[in-house]
Amino acid sequence: MPHDIVNGHIGHHHHPHDHNHPHDGDHLHSHMPPEDAAAELQVLATQFIDGFTQAADKNAYLRLAGVPFERPGSGGATALKLVDVALTTEWQVGTASPSFGSRELSYLPYPGEMVRERTNMSLVYVSSDEKSLLDIRDFLSQKQKDHQL
């Protein structure tokens, strides 16, 4: 299994325990800082969305990716069915953040060249009682944890 190499050293060798034991589900092999993991997840999401939009058979693409066509509802039974894949495009045109000592936000509109497009995907599940949206980044993040992509 690949490991990060930092300053010429394999990232795992500093751990005091032996890695020749069966791993429990809580032991993660990723030593990436959270911002790198978020960037990697965004790359995966972008590639997933690109693949989906270009796929001739959308259902086959979702099946190959392991997207569940049914999910448990709020009551716990497998009641929600995948009915839609929603793509939304947003354009970040500025930023707003809390101001020091004020309830007013500090607002910075971006110059034209800094405006960025973001496309997000949600999997839309429904039952006769509820509707649930699963963000593709949440799906991919869970898949990463389950399978260490």
Query: Domain segments of the chain: what residues?
Result: 32-89+118-147
Position 37 scores a pLDDT of 79
Higher pLDDT: 98 or 3? It is 98
Q: 136-147 vs 34-54: helix axis angle to the nearest 10? A: 110
**Residue 5, pLDDT score:** 45
| Identity of the highest mean pLDDT range in 20-24, 32-36, 48-52, 74-78 | 48-52
Please report the pLDDT score of residue 39 as a whole number. 83
Q: Tell me if residue 137 falls in helix, strand or coil.
A: helix
**pLDDT, greater one: 6 or 32:** 32
pLDDT tens, residue by residue, 52-95: 999 999 999 999 999 999 999 887 766 899 999 999 999 999 99
Highest mean pLDDT among 19-23, 25-29, 37-41, 65-69: 65-69
Check residue 12 and give its pLDDT. 44
Taken as a whole, the chain contains a residue count of: 149
pLDDT reported for residue 31: 56
The DSSP letter of residue 136 is H
Tokens of residue 144, six digits: 């990463």
pLDDT of residue 129 exceeding 90, the answer is: no
In the sheet that holds 116-126, the strands lie side by side as 70-72, 78-92, 116-126, 131-135
